[in-house]
Structure 1
Amino acid sequence: MAQAINLMVAGMLAVVLLPTASARAQHAAGPYFLTLHVAGGTGLVALGGGYRLAHERLEPELLVGYVPRRLSGGKALAIFTLKTTWLPWKVGLGAARWQTQPVTLGAMVNYTTGQQFFLTNNTAGRYRPGYYWWSSAVRLGLLAGTRLSYGRPGSARTAAYAELSTNDLHLVSALTNHSLRLPDILTLGGGLKQTLK
C-alpha cells in the first residue's frame, strides 16, 4: 500500500512538473501549481497539484492525503481527492506583490481506501440491504475560503489559504438531526499553493 501511494505521488508530481519546462524558458509564471493541504476532509496532510484554467479563476487539482493509524482508529488511511476551487476576483494590497482573494468557492469528491470502507452497502455484504444508503468510501463536499498570495507580477506566486468545508453525509445528518450545530458539520482546512515557473 505504501509503495503504491509513493508511486502515485511520484507520478503525479512528474505530470505536474514536466510540462513546466517551456514556461521556465519564457520566464513567466505557468498555470501549474503544487499544493500542501492540512486537514479539511482530505487527510491529516495531503500533497498534490493542479492546473489553472479560465484566466486563473478555476483551479482543478488532485490531492493524495494521509491519516496516520493513531488518528484513524486502526490502519493508516490514504485519501484521494479531486478538488476544484473557483476564485471570483482578486484584490491588490498596496504593493503589487501582495494579493488577496477574499472569497473562494469550490467542490470536491474524495475516496478513502481501506477494507472498512465500501462504495455501496451491497458491495460490502456486511449489512442488510438498504441499511446504509451512503458510501463510506466516497464523500462529495463543498467549500468556501479565503486566500493571501505573494509574488512578482508574471512570476511564481506563493499563496496561503484557509477554507471551511462540509460533505454530503454531514449535510444530510444536519437536516435529520436538529441538535447538530455548525461546528459539527463544518471542517477547517488550509494550506499553501506554489505556482510553478
Structure 2
Amino acid sequence: MGLKRRLLLGLLASIWVALPVQAQTDAQPSAGPFFLTLHFAGGTGLVALGGGYRVAHQRLEPEVLVGYLPAKLAGRAAAVITLKTTYIPFSPRLGQSRWEVSPVAAGGWLSYTTGQQYFLTNNSAGRYRSGYYWWSSAVRVGAFVGPRLTHLGHPSTPRPSRQTLYAELGTNDLYLVSALTNRSLKLPDILTLGGGLKGSW
C-alpha cells in the first residue's frame, strides 16, 4: 500500500504541475465527447490507457481501459481489460476561471485479467478440486468514489480542450466478501486507491 500510494502521489503531482494554470474570463470552450485516459492503479493494473465517450449531457463517462500488471506484483506479467463508467452529478465552475471541480464522482467497473495464473472458474482452471475456489481470480467487479478537477482550455490550442485530474477510492467484490468472512481485516485492507488524467479534444 505504501509503494502504491507514493507512486500515485508522484504521478498526480507531476500531472498537476503540467496542467496550465489560467484564470481567463472568456466564454466556456466546448469540448468534444471523446476522451482519452491515463489511469494508475485502482484495480486496473499498475498503469492503464484507454478512452471513452461522454453521454447523458456529458455526466456519464463509459470507457474501456487496457492495463499492465508487472511480474513483480503478480508473479507473471498480465494485462487487465476494464469496462468502467463514471457518473459526475455536478461540476460547478470556480468563479470566472476556466476550472471546474467535482467534489464527488462515482462509478463502477468490471475487469478481466489475462494470464495462466488467473481463471474464470475453479473448474475451468483444472488445477483444483471442485468447490476449492468459489470465486474467479480473473474477473473482478468494483465501485469507487472520488473528486475531480477539470481545466477548460481554449479550442484553438493543440492541448486537450478539457483536462481532468481525478482520484478514486474504491473496493471490489472479493475484498468485500473477504471483509465479511475475516473480521481481522481493517478498512484500509479492502480499499483501492487510483487516479489519473483524462483529456478531450
* TM-score bin, normalised by smaller chain: 0.7 to 0.9
Give the total of aligned pairs. Answer: 169
Which residue matches 1:113?
114
1:131 is displaced (CA, Å) by 1.2
- Structure 1 runs of 4+ aligned residues shifted over 6 Å read none
State the distance in 2 between where 1:161 and 1:28 align: 20
Look up the SS of the partner of 1:93 in the other structure: coil
> Is residue 162 of structure 2 the alignment partner of residue 160 of structure 1?
no
Look up the SS of the partner of 1:164 in the other structure: strand
Deviation string for 1:147-175 (max 9, x for gaps)? Answer: 00101487811010000111000000011
What letter is aligned with 1:29?
A
What letter is aligned with 1:188?
L
Tell me if structure 2 keeps the 8 A contact 1:85–1:104. yes
Which residue matches 2:49?
47
Look up the SS of the partner of 1:133 in the other structure: coil
**Structure 2, unaligned runs of 5 or more:** 1-28
| Identity among equivalent pairs (%) | 66
Deviation string for 1:81-129 (max 9, x for gaps)? Answer: 0000000111111233000111010000000000011000111111111
State the distance in 1 between where 2:58 and 2:152 align: 15
> Is residue 139 of structure 2 the alignment partner of residue 138 of structure 1?
yes
State the distance in 2 between where 1:42 and 1:146 align: 18
Of 66, 69, 82 in structure 1, the residue corresponding to residue 68 of structure 2 is: 66
Look up the SS of the partner of 2:177 in the other structure: helix
Which residue matches 2:189?
184
Give me the CA root mean square deviation: 1.5
State the distance in 1 between where 2:140 and 2:83 align: 11
Which residue matches 1:83?
84
What letter is aligned with 2:121?
T
Tell me if structure 2 keeps the 8 A contact 1:96–1:152. no
Tell me if structure 2 keeps the 8 A contact 1:96–1:153. no
**TM-score normalized by structure 1?**
0.82
Deviation string for 1:5-57 (max 9, x for gaps)? Answer: xxxxxxxxxxxxxxxxxxxxxx9421000000011010110000000000011
Which residue matches 1:126?
127
Deviation string for 1:59-86 (max 9, x for gaps)? Answer: 000000001222222x211000000000
Look up the SS of the partner of 1:91 in the other structure: coil
What letter is aligned with 1:47?
L
**TM-score normalized by structure 2?**
0.81
State the distance in 1 between where 2:175 and 2:154 align: 40
> Is residue 38 of structure 2 the alignment partner of residue 36 of structure 1?
yes
